[in-house]
Amino acid sequence: MSAAPPPVPLAARDRREAWILFGIAFLVLAAGFGLRDPWPSDEPRFVLVAQQMVASGEWWFPRRGHELYPDKPPLFLWIQALAYLAIGSVRWSFLLPSLLAAMGTLWLTWDLARRLWTPRVGVWAAAAVLVVPAFVFQAKRAQIDPVLVGLTTLALYGILRHLLLGPSWRWFAAGCFAAGLGVVAKGVGFLPLLALLPFALMRWQGWHGLAPLGGGNGWRWAAGIGLFFAAILLWLVPVVGMALHEGDPAYRAYLENILFKQTITRYLDPWHHFEPVWYFLEVIALFWAPLAIAFLWLAVPWARAFGAREARVWLPLAWALLVIAFFSASAGKRDMYILPALPAFALAAAPYLEAISQRRGFRLALLGWTGLLAGLLLLAGGWALLGEPRFEARLVAERGLGADALGLWWLLVAYGVIGLVAVAWGRLRRALHACAALLLALWLGWGFVVHPLLDAENSARGIIERARAALPPGGELGLLSWNEQHLLQAGLDTPEFGFCPDDSQIECQARQLARATAWVRQAPERRFLLARELKGYACVDFATPPPVPLGTANRRTFVLLGAEALRACHAAADPGPGAR
């Protein structure tokens, strides 16, 4: 078996191309940084939990409000908390982990591709990841997925450095340890280890391009896998020990939830996000373009590489297909689940992308996609400005936008004009440039225009500011029907009475209301509640006396309630631990 050739040294042109690529990448990914607060659904939750870690000093058992938060392992929350500690500002820290992880993903993809092939191929590999809208969209959000993709790419990088460019047992160990950290970020972090399955098959069949690893290394393989489990146990052993030592049923429930319900049960018997088995093919076709367009031209070279038993192409490709198959086997699916496979697809595609980019058919398809997207954006913006379409009116009403909506419609028009002008200028000769121009305009507009324009409503900052302004002098605000963004904006010391994650949980809402009623009645002249009408609040008088309207945030309308509105409600004996 012959290993891949040593990496080609970086010439001045290679360095210049790499600097340009990563400069553009940073501009795209960082656009809008610091111009907004966390937005639902997940960002406020993670930031709130991280902020509570810093405030309380409790790092092992995350809390949302005064209740334990068992839905996710804590690594991403720790990273968020450390970013907040380092910078001291939520707005300037909460997107930092995603930004760094995304830049790291691009660098790892570039570096591995240049080592496997050439520096020029490395640029194509990283660019193939960057042009995928699903990647950039997630990288500009404070979710777990960008960090997970960064960790799985690091793990795959280490494993492939060993299997294709090695032997390098240190890189294999580092890759296994990174995969373990990935599990502590999200349960599927183990996925890079699946690369060992096609590797074993390829080695048995004598594929080209595999590293000459030799025999008698059983203890080294075992040590790498041991490091994978060691990374997990660094978190799991202290948590299990403390939970069992405390003897509190809440801590035991936390362990059961995070170790079983959120992993095995969620995969085998999911309770939401049901999609058909072919769902991820739709995701790739719609949200991975323009890279997905190149897949039509990649079928032939990939088939030839398979016939030639080229492991440098097919080992990352086989792993990426395994990731797709793994998530397709579960009934519960979301579009971001398969993002860890994207860098591997890019690695397998990169050796052929420059040649494909010269094909007339590909350029025609790319130009058509660019023109179609630009036309749809122009049509949507113009329709909203010149007419009164139902979708526009509904969006304005749900989001409480008012005059701010005009900025969105003009932005859509600008997108369309830029895209169509780029298509007319580029034609077939500069089809790639036209597509890049539209994508660059989309992400710069998203960051520098949409972020500040929608922030007050999406972050619930506007609702909290209006609620504070409506209080009488010396008034106190409590959170009744609240989401994480409300507590985050109101401050961690704001009274809250338990969290109900679902609007259908009537019993939870009733308990919440009883505690809130008790708190208000302790000082009825100065205590008020942020609320919205739910089934569990049947005793609340939302009509007379009229509550103070606060407007709409995240498609929900809020009011400010006083003691008079709660006169028919039962009060709990104890307002609860959240009513500070």
The string of DSSP letters for 239-276 reads HHHHHHHH--HHHHHHHHIIIIIIIIIHHHS-SS-B--
The CA distance from 407 to 405, in Å, is 5
The CA distance from 563 to 141, in Å, is 39
What per-residue confidence (pLDDT) applies to 391? 60
Residues 127/106, Cβ–Cβ less than 8 Å: no
The CA distance from 68 to 473, in Å, is 34
Peptide bond into 41 cis (omega under 30): yes
Domain borders along the chain are 12-268, 365-458, 461-566
- Residue-wise DSSP of 95-114: THHHHHHHHHHHHHHHHHHH
CA atoms within 13 A on the CB side of 129: 36
Tokens 């790639």 appear where?
432
Helices (H), 270-359: 279-287, 291-307, 311-328, 342-357
Helices (H), 88-217: 90-93, 96-116, 119-130, 133-139, 144-165, 169-185, 196-205
Peptide bond into 167 cis (omega under 30): yes
What per-residue confidence (pLDDT) applies to 400? 58
Residues 97/80, Cβ–Cβ less than 8 Å: yes
The angle, 0 to 180 degrees and rounded to 10, between the axes of the packed helices 12-30 and 431-445 is: 40
Distances (CA, A) of 420 to 288, 352, 377, 483: 21, 28, 10, 41
What per-residue confidence (pLDDT) applies to 390? 61
Assigned token pair, 303: 């088939």
Q: Provide the residue-wise pLDDT of the chain in tens; the chain has 580 residues.
A: 344 566 667 888 999 999 999 999 999 999 999 999 999 889 999 999 999 999 999 999 999 888 888 888 999 999 999 999 999 999 999 999 999 999 999 999 999 999 999 999 999 999 999 999 999 999 999 999 999 999 999 999 999 999 999 899 999 999 999 999 999 999 999 999 999 999 999 999 999 999 999 888 999 999 999 999 999 999 999 999 988 887 788 888 888 888 888 788 877 778 778 899 999 999 999 999 999 999 999 999 999 999 999 999 999 999 999 999 999 999 999 999 999 999 999 999 999 999 999 999 999 999 999 999 999 999 989 988 887 666 666 666 655 566 667 888 899 999 999 999 999 998 999 999 999 999 999 999 999 999 999 898 889 999 999 999 999 999 999 999 899 999 999 999 999 998 988 888 899 999 999 999 999 999 999 999 999 988 889 999 988 777 888 888 877 889 999 999 999 998 876 777 666 5
